[in-house]
Structure 1
């Protein structure tokens, strides 16, 4: 895909409000799509630059494999119902990990956001309570658009398996969220089979 952006290696500190725990994670260089997956790319609406929404985590990893096959990459996932195994050696498309997502969102910044919210994000105060075409707001320093606002992004990780079982991580905030949810460190969760109207995803790849 032509919109992949190379994200440099680094380190990021993740935090969980429920447990008041924080932990540092090293992040290797990887590639991340500059925009959330659109309705056009997903195969729903030719020419549409709206982010695809209402896709479950299972839908998202399945799409990653379909795109990998279409472009002759090795699929990143083995999918058996709701059991998904990631092959980290595969060069195909995948979801970013939570640490990769936050590192990419921050783009070297340390505050809650990489810019003024109205300049970088569609959220409840300016969205008209609907999704908007991707890329309409200013990108971060690494060329990534809509990392905050517009739609939440699915990540690979389990949210808190001891408490929430198979629930997966969502990041970034969406068009219906208040300003406090559109911050680089905010975490949300959902069951991997649920489809939610303000949730989408973006594609990542490991170096091949």
Structure 2
């Protein structure tokens, strides 16, 4: 995992026409999206068959709820505290923000890490940094095949969308969760640091995966 320094990021909600600034503590973020090989090593089973994708390709067809479960499995395997618990009656997921276990990044953490101190829509020329509709040949590619951002994070844009912890807009969309980054089937315009998408936590598709985060021990996440 890659250490990400603390800092601040500005986010926006176009529906509400609002912007807000979030202060972030240092945290750890996966250098790459979770791969099919990592999923197999943790669960003992292969992900949804995809003859076009090898083990180093990003894991796809995983829902937000399955992503949460995978984070807890990884934490248990590593001897870390589990970040999440799920109410057996309501199904609601709670996050223990003091846990040092694996978790999904918040939307603010994801955007901050993606931009990596840059100020543009992307951190580089799109064909140099991302697999997207114009260059992906209609499939995901092994992680790390494109140039990283200035903080050494690969595939933050393109290849697969990545689930985040946050609700999108509870007032309008209820339990829908956010995903970020654009995927191999996305147009160039959809692969930008500020692009926000959402879906139901049970939703899974072939260009949506996840990236792991961890809270730095002793530093509380906002």
- Give me the TM-score of the superposition, normalised by structure 2: 0.90
Of 12-21 and 59-68, deviating more is 12-21
Cα deviation per residue 1:182-202 (whole Å; 9 max; x = unaligned)? 000000001001111110001
For 1:85, the equivalent position in structure 2 comes to 94
Equivalent residue number for residue 33 of structure 2: 36
> Are residues 1:148 and 2:148 paired?
no
Picking from 106, 121, 126, the partner of 2:115 is 106
Runs of 5+ in structure 2 lacking a partner?
41-45, 48-53, 218-222
In structure 2, the residue matched to 1:96 is: 105
Structure 1 equivalent of residue 138 of structure 2:
129
Aligned to 1:138: 147
Structure-2 residue corresponding to 1:20: 17
Partner of 1:178: 187
Deviation for aligned residue 1:106: 0.2
Q: Distance in 1 between matches of 2:22 and 2:99?
A: 21
Provide the rounded CA distance (Å) in 1 between the counterparts of 2:29 and 2:179: 16
2:209 to 195, 200, 206: 200
- Residue 60 of structure 2 is aligned to residue 53 of structure 1: yes
RMSD: 1.0
Partner secondary structure for residue 111 of structure 2: helix
Which of 170, 191, 198 is 2:200 aligned to? Answer: 191
TM-score between the two structures when normalised by the length of structure 1:
0.96
Q: CA deviation at 1:129?
A: 1.4
